[in-house]
Amino acid sequence: MLAGTLALPLLSALVPAAASAAEGAAVPARDGVALSVFFGVIALALGVTWWTGKKASTTLAFYTPGRSVGPGRVGLALAGDYMSAASFLGIAGLVASEGYDGILYATGFLAGWPALMLLLAEPLRNLGKFTVADVVAYRLRRAPVRIASAVGGVATLLFYAVGQLVAAGDLVHLMTGTPYAWAELLVGGAMLLYVLVGGALATTWVQITKAVLLLAGVALLGLLVLLQVGPPLELYTRVAARYGTAALAPGALARNPLDAISLGLALGMGLLGLPHILLRFYTLTDAKAARTSALWATGLIGSFYLVIPAVGFGAAVFVPGGRAAILAVDPGGNMAAPLLALHLGGAPLLGFIAAVAFATILAVVAGLTQAAASAVSHDVYLGVLRAGRAPQESQQRVGQLAATAFSALAVGLSVLFRGQNVAFLVGLAFAIAASANFPALLLSIVWRRFSTAGAVASIATGTALSVGMIVGGEAVWVRILGHAQPLVGLANPCIVSMPAAFAAAILVSLAAPDPEAQERFDAEQLRTYLGVGGDEAGRR
Amino acid sequence: MDEPRASRTAARSHELVRSPEFRRLVARRWTVALGLLALLSVAYFGFVLLVAFAPVLLARPFAGALTLGVALSIAVIGAAYLLTAGYVSWANGAHDREVSALRSRWRG
């Protein structure tokens, strides 16, 4: 039923007709120099990926940085996993178009890191093997937990990918003038090719390249803004002079306090349920390396999110036409940073920034596709349907099918979500992550009486509530389905869906206990806190 | 793995997990982690609550046109980093020494 209602706007978006001709006028770029820099930098980034991919061909080498790589570099790779072009473009856009409210995203996206470190980093390092389900199901019945956890994981990854793809579509549309829906198909095709042919996407070096490119791009823009304004505080004076002091204080968020709290919760806790980040902790050599690397990552990500608001304010002040011009190019404001680049550094800088953003989006979505594919092929197909035994080729085929289906779904959704701010969309993905994955993960590590039924109930409740409330909320019900009023008043569902997932976990675990799992908790604790036992105890 | 060996391992893990040293390690780890988490929550969720309920306070000037709200957002990022650094230096030092002592006891 839902698929039917969504298919109509999807089809109409793919028919170019009048829409693209009308909006062509608003796009300022399409310049030969910008385009050659754009494609040149993308080709270079893909070349690095391909080259490093050839060097690390085994699955083990995939994620495992190995002992030869120091914690600083692993930290860069972790930062590369996490920092996304969508958060860069989205936050800069929000700050440019709405002012202060965008800053909450920057702060929230960092605040998850200490929480991750304090609650999950070492247990993940000590318990994890391939997927999030490994940890949740450590002492529970494998099959039901794996299925539930694959569903929760894929839902999270899908929404996260949609946020990234909307940004990529906007970029390609801005740079080449290709109608948005076709740009999405193009990006989706490129990402699928990258996954199916490239293979080694999550290699440490790809993520390091990505982190360096993004940090350099953001730092460069921040520096250019500073050079323009002189003393840093002058930037705020100019913002206040042009848009009033309201731009430097909470606006829409303060009008809906519950929404602000819900968003803050999602941003702060979502990281603790993001499969593609959690997986990297499995590969670190010891707990000390895990902590030091995560500290490096926190520092790098912190500086990234400190500079982005300045880029956003810079765009509001320096892009000719200001907010109105930025919103005319894209109603989500997502193109604020590229437009600022065009104004401060001309066509070459626009080409560079757009290429950095695009190449990093490609790397992120490819990684997301891969994580989703392995949840399906490893957890569901191999673990449940084939009871742990399946030839490598058939497992690979299932993975490829899953990757294709995931890309198609992500592209379709990103066409529908056009014109929405991508940091906002990533915030929705964080709400799913914080509700579907995080409660079950945490309780499986700390609570002896956590049971299989409790885990399944928690993941099912968290996934269904968060996704359902997003569909009934402003983002889908009003902006995509065209209803006048949302069914759900909250723009971000986290404040309802995360506590509900915890409650379901606790109530169902108490109602349907799992005595065997309680007995195995001792062995799990040894592994959680000391990194020994467990494996040797014949569990796996 | 044969049955008797598996059950011996289970008995050994049971014994170590119930030992006062292990209990103390776990208790201290969570005291430190939850204490720091409480500080983080005060900083971050305190900030979020101010955004939600005290926009007027956050609109006050802090330095020139820079508002208290912008300054606080920067301070929260700094505090989050410092908390992480504090935890890492504790865990990589005192905590890790206790962990390796217990680990060698397990390996016998």
Q: How far apart are CA A237 and CA B67, in angstroms?
A: 10
- Residue A5 pLDDT: 55
Q: How far is CA A469 from its chain centroid?
A: 19
**Residue A244: closest C-alpha in chain B:** B65
What is the per-residue pLDDT across A459-510, written as a single tens digit (0 to 9) for each? 999 999 999 999 999 888 988 888 889 998 888 999 999 999 999 999 999 9
* pLDDT band for position A61 (cuts 50, 70, 90): very low
**CB of A373 within 8 Å of any CB in chain B?**
no
- Please indicate whether, in this complex, the C-beta atoms of B74 and A306 are within 8 angstroms of each other: yes
Contact A529 B48 (CB under 8 A): no
- CA dist., res. A148 & res. A155, Å (int): 11
Flag if B48 and A295 touch (Cβ within 8 Å): no
* Rounded-to-integer distance, Cα A472 and Cα A489, Å: 9
Measure the CA–CA gap between A306 and A222, rounded to whole angstroms: 10
Residues on chain B touching A240 (C-beta within 8 angstroms)? 65
The arithmetic mean of pLDDT across residues A372-389, rounded, is 83
Least Cα distance to A132 among A515, A441, A468 occurs for A441
The per-residue pLDDT for A242 is: 92
Closest CB to B58: pick one of A106, A250, A264. A250
Neighbours of A321 (CB within 10 A): 12
- Of A179-193, A288-302, A325-339, A373-387, the range with the lowest mean pLDDT is A373-387
Comparing alpha-carbon positions, the chain B residue that sits nearest to A111 is B80
Cβ neighbours of residue A301 under 8 Å, at least 6 residues apart? A79, A82, A83, A109, A110, A113
Q: How far is A495 from chain B (nearest CA, A)?
A: 13
Query: Mean of the pLDDT values across residues B86-98?
Result: 92
ipTM: 0.92
**Chain B residue numbers touching A115 (CB-CB < 8 A):** 37, 40
Question: Are A270 and A430 contacting, i.e. CB atoms less than 8 angstroms apart?
Answer: yes
Q: What is the pLDDT of residue A52?
A: 64
Work out the average pLDDT over A409-435: 93
Closest CA relative to residue A232, chosen from A294, A168, A311: A311
The pLDDT of residue A64: 42
Task: Check A526 against B17: CB less than 8 A apart.
Answer: yes
Confidence grade of residue A445 (pLDDT, cut at 50, 70, 90): very high
Going by pLDDT thresholds of 50, 70 and 90, the confidence category of residue A25 is very low
Query: With contacts defined as CB-CB under 8 Å, which chain A residues touch B59?
Result: 245-246, 248-250
pLDDT above 90 as % of chain A? 46
| Per-residue confidence (pLDDT) for residue A56, from 0 to 100 | 52
The DSSP element (H or E) to which A489 belongs, if any, is none
In terms of average pLDDT, the best of A128-142, B74-88, B94-108 is B74-88
Of A100, A233, A254, the CB nearest to B52: A254
Query: What own/partner pairs with CB < 8 Å and gap ≥ 24 does B88-92 have?
Result: B88/A117, B88/A291, B88/A292, B88/A294, B88/A295, B90/B32, B91/A122, B91/A287, B91/A288, B91/A291, B91/B32, B92/A288, B92/A291, B92/A292
**Contact (CB<8Å) B44/A108:** yes
Average pLDDT over residues A372-384: 84
Instruction: Answer yes or no: do B26 and A299 touch at CB < 8 A.
Output: no
Which is more confidently placed, A110 or B65? A110
Answer yes or no: is pLDDT of A192 > 50.
Answer: yes
CB contact under 8 Å between B83 and A253, yes or no, is no
CB-nearest partner of A257 from B52, B63, B107: B52
pLDDT band at A66 (very low <50, low <70, confident <90, very high): very low
pLDDT in tens, B23-40: 999 999 999 999 999 999
Contacts of B106 in chain A (CB under 8 A): 526, 530, 532-533
Q: What is the pLDDT of residues A210-235, one digit of tens each?
A: 889 899 999 999 999 999 998 889 99
| Top-confidence residue, A315 or A193 | A315
B26 neighbourhood in chain A, CB within 8 Å: 525, 529
Report the gap between the CA of A534 and the closest CA in chain B (Å). 9
Nearest-Cα residue of chain A relative to residue B100: A530
Mean pLDDT of A514-533: 86
Q: Which of A117, A529, A533 is opposite residue B29, by nearest beta carbon? A: A529
What residues 499-538 of chain A have any CB closer than 8 A to a CB of chain B? 522-523, 525-526, 529-533, 536-538
Taking CB atoms and an 8 Å limit, are A249 and B69 in contact across chains? yes
Q: Which region among A34-48, A322-336, B58-72 has the lowest average model confidence (pLDDT)?
A: A34-48
- Residue B53: per-residue pLDDT: 92
pLDDT at A55: 58
Mark yes or no for CB contact A107/B37 under 8 Å: no
B12 by Cβ neighbours in 10 Å (0-12 / 13-18 / 19+) ranks as middle
Please report the pLDDT score of residue B26 as a whole number: 92
**pLDDT on residue A203:** 63
* A243, pLDDT greater than 60: yes
Q: Which of B19, B21, B44 to mutate to test the interface with A (most CBs of A within 10 A)?
A: B44
Min Cα–Cα distance to chain B from A233, Å: 6
pLDDT beyond 60 at A538: no
Q: Is the pLDDT of residue A199 over 70?
A: no
Query: Which of 268-327 (A) contact B at CB < 8 A?
Result: 268, 287-288, 291-292, 294-295, 298-299, 302, 305-306, 309
**Does residue A262 register a pLDDT over 80?**
yes
Question: Which value, in Å, is the radius of gyration of the alpha carbons in chain A?
Answer: 22
